[in-house]
Structure 1
Amino acid sequence: MIHVLFVCTGNTCRSPMAAALFNHWAEVMGMSSRVRAGSAGMAALGGEAASEHAVKAMARRGINLAHHRARPVEEAIPKADLVLCMGHGQAQLLRERYPRFAERIHPLMPYAWGLRTDVEDPYGGDLETYEAVAEKLEETVQSVLQKLENSRET
């Protein structure tokens, strides 16, 4: 089982949406017995719920995020096989903080697509902003799943 950890700042928007989408698509693609995702935040307040708009954006996709509770990255990183951060700066900081896990830590967009971009933080934005981020994340996690599947086959 490959444990993927998605990391953002507060673990209330991007990373929980990415983990929920990843697990959903792993199920759809028949990979749920081989991969599983969780999420954490660089500055997470443990136990905080997902943002209202994140919950709504996921509900529109048939995914329930209502029970999500934020957790700090310190608790989760040792158990992760692959750590995918929403931004380059987050990945760099985690590599510095946790050098023994550095090879596992990557910015999400370069890992998935080879793009030198970050996933914008929708925090404080309207539902449309969250929808745009959710759409980008949905396509991106599908790319990550395909990459993991392809690496398994070779």
Structure 2
Amino acid sequence: MKILILCTGNTCRSPMAEGIVNDIVKREHLENEIQVESMGFAANDGELPTANAVECMKEIGIDISGKRARRVLMEDLEQADMFYVMTDSHKNIISDAIPDDEDRVMVLDVPDPFGSGIEVYRECRDKIKTYFEHEFRYRLGETDGE
């Protein structure tokens, strides 16, 4: 299964989410089943994650410093099995590009922390982490979905 995690610039939210999901995938020994990549709708290819994104992820033992931003292309959308996006506007972009696939797009509803202090990044990180911890427990059948 190929999972795409998308935000705007691919320097804050989606790299943090990619790091968190890859950590869960590794912990659950799903590396052979799930491929995770983050991209941005308006990313500048090769741009580094923000310092605050790197720092707040480091606080929970996840290193995203090697991540480089990448703009999503139509072929990336066509090859993905599942999409996780940060806002409804991101979902609308996918819906416009790939009609009739809304059931494969999940919205996390995480505001953009770009330009904010480390506390805002921590709030975003924690919201993303909580979402994916629950999502994977649910998908792996470890909870009743509540």
**Aligned ranges 1:4-153 → 2 under 5 Å:** 4-74=3-73, 76-99=76-99, 101-108=101-108, 118-150=109-141
Q: Which has the higher helix share?
A: 1
Q: C-alpha displacement at 1:100, in angstroms?
A: 6.4
Q: C-alpha displacement at 1:49, in angstroms?
A: 0.7
8 A Cα contact 1:86 1:107, kept in partner: yes
Which 4+ runs in 1 deviate beyond 6 A? none
Letter in 1 for 2:138: K
- Greater mean alpha carbon deviation, residues 67-76 or residues 78-87: 67-76
SS of residue in 1 equivalent to 2:61: coil
8 A Cα contact 1:40 1:76, kept in partner: no
Distance 1:78 1:100 in 2: 12
1:112 aligns with: none
Q: C-alpha displacement at 1:127, in angstroms?
A: 0.8
8 A Cα contact 1:20 1:37, kept in partner: no
TM-score if structure 1 supplies the norm length? 0.83
RMSD between superposed Cα atoms in Å: 1.8
Q: C-alpha displacement at 1:133, in angstroms?
A: 0.7
Distance 2:19 2:95 in 1: 24
TM-score if structure 2 supplies the norm length? 0.88
Q: C-alpha displacement at 1:105, in angstroms?
A: 2.3
SS of residue in 1 equivalent to 2:36: strand
Distance 2:27 2:67 in 1: 21
Distance 1:73 1:100 in 2: 19
Gaps of 5+ in 1: 109-117
What CA deviation, in whole Å up to 9, does each residue of 1:77-128 have, x standing for no partner?
22211011100111012111222654422323xxxxxxxxx11111100011
8 A Cα contact 1:47 1:69, kept in partner: yes
1:114 aligns with: none
Gaps of 5+ in 2: none
SS of residue in 1 equivalent to 2:47: coil
Q: Percent identity?
A: 30
